[in-house]
Structure 1
Amino acid sequence: MNETVDEGVKVRIWNPTVANLSLMALGSSAPEILLSIIEITANHFRIGELGPGTIIGSAAFNLLCITAICVIAVSSPTVKRIQEKFVFATTTLFSCLAYIWLLIILIVISPNIVELWEALVTFGLFFVLIIVAYLMDIKIWRNDKTHLNEEYQIDSADDEKCKDDNIDTYLRKFATEMEFENNMIKTMNEVKNHKALRYILRWISRVYPYLSPDEQSKLLASKLRHMQTHRRFWYRLQVIRKLTASIRKMDLKWNSKKMLEEVDRVKEAPEIGETIEFSARVYSIAKGSNKVMLRIIRHKPTDKTIPFHYSTKNGVAKKDLHFLSKSETVQFKPGEKIKEIYIDLVEGAMWQFGDVFYVRLKLWPN
């Protein structure tokens, strides 16, 4: 049984869009709203010196000035994008309609007077805004739950600007050195801007974030190689190579170099003391499981207590959508070599191939 020192689990309760439009908006605009209510009630629902202009000015400042400051604050090499475009469009539309509605109330219907039914209609439109924005946030028009993954996908704008160019350079290099067929370059040109190539690039970056651009391009080249159509001679050649166990010089040279570098790195590694690690680099999740067990192994010395800390981290799979966030400190007792930890999974989550998340592990100072 695990000896727990501390543990924290975060569970999302409020929808972020609903919270922003209700609680946070009410908190930031509370002074203007309360002053306007007090004034208009004291003036028998007639416009005073403050008037609705106070609230309108505050809303216009948030919509125009704050948005402009957020745009200016981003440095030129960096790119930021609106994550929820439909929600942003909805709130912008309702803001413009609100200004028009107030003009109709104060100028056309009842000049300089706010009648009770007008106030009730305006207040009711606030709930309409929240409902419509919430439906836009969950993308109600999509009936497949798997589409909710798009809400949490990593935006391609967060990638380095020159990453695609580097991948393309390395990809063409391997296409030449590994003696791909002539139509390999043609295949790359055809799918360069294709959605499939973008998907493969993002998938490789997210599932294998530790690979260098050189290694990513080799993996991408291998996948593209299977995408191209081949002549009958190509298949006959592959069969002959497998039967004769022939190995390409490029593959042998590349793998040998990597192996020698790894051997040198291990030889030069200094002696280390207390070490712990997971029993495997990757753990699979059985279908229908509500938790996953991770086994941590302790290496010598094992004669004293060693505290360590682990925490979950988003990957393609996201917290609260696929798994529950967890941060915990656990101890290895003297003589104890194996410790098991458990990560809770979201019930009914739609897991797909390639959905991964990470668990960080580090020794905790005594």
Structure 2
Amino acid sequence: MTVNGPGEVCYSLRPFLEALQTMTREVRVWVFIPPCQFASGWEEKITRDLPLVEKVIDSRHIFRFLFLERVTFPTSGLVLFMGGDLFYAYRLKRKSGYSLWAYGVPPREIKKVDLFLVRFEKDFEHYPPNKRFLLGDLLQSLCLAPFENAQKFFELGRPRFLFLPGSRPLLYPYILPFYSEIASLLHREFYPQASFVLGFPEFLEPESLSALSIRVPPLLKPVWGHTSSLIEGSDLAIMVPGSVNLEVAYRGKKGVVVLPLWQGMEKVPLQGLWGLLDVLPFWSKIVKPRLVERLNRKIRWVSLPNRVFDAQIFPECRGRITAREVVIKVKEELERKGILGLPPIEKRVTWNAAELLAEKVCAFLKK
């Protein structure tokens, strides 16, 4: 299997392997983590703790494995693409002789992929009939799992605001002070009885932030892990773009997505060939901030639910924004009547995609 950033590891790989473990313990799972500009640096550690994982090949060793090492593969197997560049999965296919299944990939590279595992029903008709299977969203499987009561994480006050800073500690020195300013304004001017929680990913610990000289703002109560429970217990989430946006949407919670671009723009990860330019001298400090601002004006949506459904599921505050602008948007969204509603076409996809994929993989390997 290939995965890249923390979103694929936590929201795709984990639910699939947990479902697969309930059906068989006779599979050998090798996970490849190609280079990725969105990586947090913790993908390998998280992956090694997942069930059924026998071997993890990280970005430092993947080229040696693919091009230099001689490897004896079992006679029966499958390459499963779950994220990253399809190039690595296709190279694994060529080296192993296995079939290649690709999850959540656009209907390109038809000759390279043996089966497209379609993530969203609205995209199904765009894939070749003989190479498509409507799987559904693996992230949605996570939302079907039971969660613990979030009462113990929030203070007694209401409303409950959840701040999600993402999985890249490199950006914390910029986003955490901004979150602190937002929380202070909300508390001082509109919601004096509110409770504020800062939800860090489960792979981070307080010592991790101390090592990076990052301090947690005083008004925000830090909670390490328990993201799903925190989302369920919150009234509104304030978050940076990422896979967690989609979990908030699936759980029917209100949210506002923020992408401040007034500092630290040289550390904003870019997709595709633009991401490779970070290795050029002076690129990050001189050219990249201008490109980031240009792309921000050009891109319609940055939040994953908004991009998936091409509609405003969550309001977005982007660019050279102020904390007050975000607070006004948060207040409007919180006081808006009704609950969050996804487009009806996706509400028909209610099955457990992780269990469905595990069953399909088991059936294929038994042939």
The TM tier, using the shorter chain, reads under 0.3
**TM-score normalised by structure 2 residue count:** 0.22
**TM-score normalised by structure 1 residue count:** 0.22
Q: Report which of the two structures shows the higher radius of gyration computed on alpha carbons.
A: 1
Tell me: higher relative CO, structure 1 or 2? Use CA pairs within 8 A at least 6 residues apart.
1
- Higher helix proportion: 1
